């Protein structure tokens, strides 16, 4: 139990579907992150939020749309995805931007068919 | 190019053996973390090192941060099958950025 909870753990969606991934952190942290992990690739940072404000968007396609309604919750809205978007999507949080350590959730396995 | 290089990429050893994995960079990091990740799960934090030259021990695991804060090593003594997993290092750099290595995949055989 890392204090960062992701749902769903597994998701299969068609290329025309719209779905969302949810992340909740119970650590009182102010910064939250979305990472993508594909086979044989290092973790790729997608988005960074600090105090509900997006501070980084690493050239992520617009078919991925993040939302941070408060400092405890982070969503990743998905629409018209491609099969190559299939991956493990990891949410993480840290006490603040520039904090020493980030803590990960268990991840959401996404398969696009 | 990868900011953090981990070596070796793969390591397969027998239970009871010792091993060391490395995390190297030409950049200086304010802190460095080691994580262990099992298939289908998120990375779990093992340790954070902050001070150059720092050594931290966690049971059979020994972590060292290089004097110049550019590199780190993880040594496991008497490996067990439960140590099997992907070991990731991550460096905190330039305010909000955490850079990850591509990992060392360790397999400990019974």
Q: State the pLDDT confidence band at A113, using cuts at 50, 70 and 90.
A: very high
Which chain B residues are within 8 Å of A50, Cβ to Cβ?
A: 96
pLDDT of residue B18 exceeding 80, the answer is yes
Q: What are the pLDDT digits (tens) for A16-53?
A: 899 999 999 999 999 999 999 998 778 888 999 988 88
Q: State the pLDDT confidence band at B57, using cuts at 50, 70 and 90.
A: very high
* Mean pLDDT value across chain A: 91
Tell me, what's the pLDDT at B2? 63
pLDDT of residue A1 exceeding 70, the answer is no
**In this complex, do B31 and A105 lie within 8 Å of one another by their Cβ atoms?**
no
B66 near A CB under 8 A: no
Q: Which residues, 6 or more positions from B94, have their beta carbon under 8 angstroms from its beta carbon? A: none
Alpha-carbon gap, residue A110 to B56, rounded angstroms: 36
**In this complex, do B41 and A31 lie within 8 Å of one another by their Cβ atoms?**
no
Q: Which of B34, B50, B49 is nearest to B88 (CA)?
A: B34
Which chain B residues are within 8 Å of A99, Cβ to Cβ?
A: 92
Q: What are the pLDDT digits (tens) for A48-62?
A: 998 888 887 778 999
Test the B interface: residue of A101, A106, A108 with most B CBs within 10 Å: A101
Q: Closest chain B residue to A88 measured between Cα atoms?
A: B40
Rg from Cα positions in chain A: 13
Three-state DSSP state, A83: helix
Residue B63 contacts residue B74 (beta carbons within 8 Å) = yes
Which chain A residues are within 8 Å of B35, Cβ to Cβ?
A: 104
Residue of B33, B40, B41 with shortest CB distance to A101: B33
Query: How many CB atoms neighbour CB A18 within 10 A?
Result: 12
């Amino acid at each position: 139990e890392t204090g960062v909870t992701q749902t769903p753990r597994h998701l299969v969606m068609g290329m025309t579907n719209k779905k969302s991934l949810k992340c909740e952190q119970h650590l009182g942290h102010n910064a939250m992150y979305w990472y993508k992990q594909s086979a044989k690739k290092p973790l790729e940072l997608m988005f960074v939020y600090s105090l509900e404000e997006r501070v980084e968007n690493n050239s992520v396609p617009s078919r991925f749309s993040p939302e941070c309604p408060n400092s405890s919750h982070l969503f990743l809205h998905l629409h018209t995805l491609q099969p190559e978007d299939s991956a493990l999507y990891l949410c993480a949080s840290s006490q603040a931007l520039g904090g020493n350590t980030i803590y990960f959730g268990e991840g959401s396995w996404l398969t696009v068919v | 190019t990868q900011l953090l290089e981990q070596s070796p990429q793969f390591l397969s050893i027998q239970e009871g053996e010792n091993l060391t994995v490395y995390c190297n960079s030409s950049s200086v990091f304010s802190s460095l973390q080691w994580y262990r990740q099992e298939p289908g799960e998120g990375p779990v934090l093992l340790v954070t090192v902050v001070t150059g030259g720092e050594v931290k021990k966690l049971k059979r695991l020994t972590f060292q941060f290089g004097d110049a804060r550019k590199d780190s090593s993880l040594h496991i003594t008497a490996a067990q099958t439960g140590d099997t997993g992907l070991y990731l290092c991550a460096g905190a750099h330039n305010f909000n950025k955490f850079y990850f290595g591509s990992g060392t995949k360790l397999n400990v055989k019974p």
